Chains A and B, each alone.
Chain A
Amino acid sequence: MSVNALYDYKFEPRDKVENFHGMQLLYVYWPHHLMYCSPFAFLVAPDMTFGAMIEEVLKPAVSAHPDAAKADFLGATWQLNGESFIPDANATLKDSGIDHKSMLTVTTKGLDGIAGTAS
């Protein structure tokens, strides 16, 4: 459906990749760790490698969680936009098919948050 209006109601999306000055948005969701209230929104360079994203972006973001030290992110189960995904630490985000506003979900089996409550 579309907006009912008196004129041709059309607008550019406000968050197109061009508006991010060469960078792009990346969301990362770590299920069963709801101490972080929602998926993270990161601003990343498309030519950053997947491995660097884990080391420089994801790990600092989750460091306060008691499970963080135990998590093997590279060896975990990943999804990209809901589809299963096998990461390559040396590939860039762009070459991994991770485009602007993509969401990665990383499930670390056996880690179920504070006191096993998915927190």
Chain B
Amino acid sequence: MPVKNKKLNLKDKYQYLTRDMAWEPSYQKKEDIFPNESFEGIKITDWSQWEDPFRLTMDAYWKYQAEKEKKLYAIFDAFAQNNGHQNISDARYVNALKLFLTGVSPLEHAAFQGYARVGRDFSGAGARVACQMQAIDELRHSQTQQHAMSHYNKHFNGLHDAAHMHDRVWFLSVPKSFFDDARTAGPFEFLTAISFSFEYVLTNLLFVPFMSGAAYNGDMATVTFGFSAQSDEARHMTLGLEVIKFILEQHEDNVPIVQRWIDKWFWRGFRLLSLVGMMMDYMLPNRVMSWAEAWEVYYEQNGGALFKDLERYGIRPPKYQDVANDAKNHVSHQAWATFYQYGHATNFHTWMPEKDELDWLSQKYPETFDKYYRPRFEYWAKEHAEGRRFYNNTLPQLCQVCQIPTIFTEKDDPTVLSHRQIVHEGERYHFCSDGCCDIFKDEPEKYVQAWLPVHQIYQGNCEGGDVETVVSKYYHINIGEDNFEYIGSPDHKRWLSIKGKQSDDKESGSSQDAA
């Protein structure tokens, strides 16, 4: 029999390849097939109300992604063949990549695992398909990021064992525990945490700084990855907004549950982004914008409009948003000061800003930098110049929830730490803030198990009692190569020799680079 129309139209194809993949069970109960759908208390009355954020089917998905991939890898090859690493602004920039590769790329992989799992948990086929596609996106991002940066691994230190470090190194427990927290939650909380709070509300604060930072600093490999991920990110953001609106429209009982998740995940995301703030203000030789400016545009303005829009569902802006907004003038300096003093235990180098960089910070942070931070940094620079580069040789107290050292200060008094402490079932717990303390009080059973790197070292679980052994044996950080001060490091020396050679070889070429 002749087939009348071999090609399905888009609408039919979409229907066949998504919603029609589902069926009504006849001999098993629906709640047995989807056992994780209801325990969080979220009530879904009608899955058919789910609006698919992107009318994308699997066959089209593979086709688009394959095309993007082909172009991406052609550029990676060209970058490697042309020794693209020699054209970056300064080798200090590579330290931002070391942070990205150990801190962010493994999160893409964790997101892949998370979406793959929740894609199984929903009884609504539309949501399952969207999660499945995002899972594959995240896996691809994790892989392409590693490939984008692998060229740097041939020429700079500290990039050699990112996955291992992610599981062990003290500051990497911050991003790791963030995603572990989300992945061990129920499926609706996972989507609120990652799709909404992270991908929709905060993702621009991660992606724009890193990708514009790459562009401003001549890192074409990473910029190209950014472009190739952009259309995926747009899809993820749309899913984030759809998820939240769908849950809120389904039942009014969902509103307080979602509000609590938004409060929690806004705060956790904000704390995690301290690392990005410090990268923007301190690790980019050519600066894009200050962290405070980024926070104003991407959170205060965009986030403000979003939460205004969500008001009609009964959702208010996240708790402690005022604290976060105020902290935009502090966190990057506090984080960099922390990494500077623990620079013997990091896989990247740290340094004090040069004079023009300090002036830039003074200008971007007129209320806070000169008053609270510049004297400290100038003191450290002076100490270093006199042969006493400052390192803190004692381990820091960590927050039980975000796992960052308790370095943050009070909103009303930046000279005092916003430390909080409680006793729960006879044990003492310490926190960096009310935000983290509240998260603990909501779900103490979850955070009493926190694997706090400092405490693990002191319990003897990290292959040694002294920092040097832990750093080299347990973290796989090569002492004297990956860690310590940038000035005088092997990376620094290599960069000087690259630049020296280049100006000898082709003088006309280097003036073009500068333009």
Contact = CB atoms under 8 A, between A and B. Distances in A.
Interface residues of B, number: 57
Q: Which of A42, A43, A66 has the most CB of B within 10 A?
A: A43
A37 B405 contact: yes
Given A1-B442, A3-B443, A20-B459, A35 B376 contact: yes
Contacts of A88: none
Contacts, number: 147
Contact of A27 (B390, B397, B407): B397
Nearest to B444: A2
B406 A11 contact: no
A115 B392 CA distance: 20
A34 B421 CA distance: 19
Interface in B366-398: 371-373, 375-376, 379, 383, 388, 390, 392-398
B376 A41 contact: no
A38 interface: yes
B258 to A, nearest CB: 13
How many chain A residues sit at the interface, stated as a range, is: 35 or more
A101 interface: yes
A13 B414 CA distance: 32
Given A40-B397, A41-B397, A119 B442 contact: no
Given A21-B460, A38-B405, A43-B458, A15 B396 contact: no
B405 A9 contact: no
Interface in A33-66: 34-43, 60-61, 64, 66
B448 interface: yes
Nearest to B375: A115
Interface of B: 35-36, 39-41, 186, 334, 337-338, 341, 371-373, 375-376, 379, 383, 388, 390, 392-398, 405-407, 409, 414-417, 419, 421, 425, 427-430, 441-446, 448-452, 454-455, 458-460
6 contacts: A6-B35, A14-B448, A40-B396, A81-B421, A100-B428, A118-B416
Given A20-B459, A35-B337, A119-B373, 13 more contacts: A4-B39, A11-B448, A14-B450, A29-B419, A31-B415, A37-B337, A37-B341, A38-B406, A40-B394, A103-B397, A103-B421, A117-B371, A119-B372
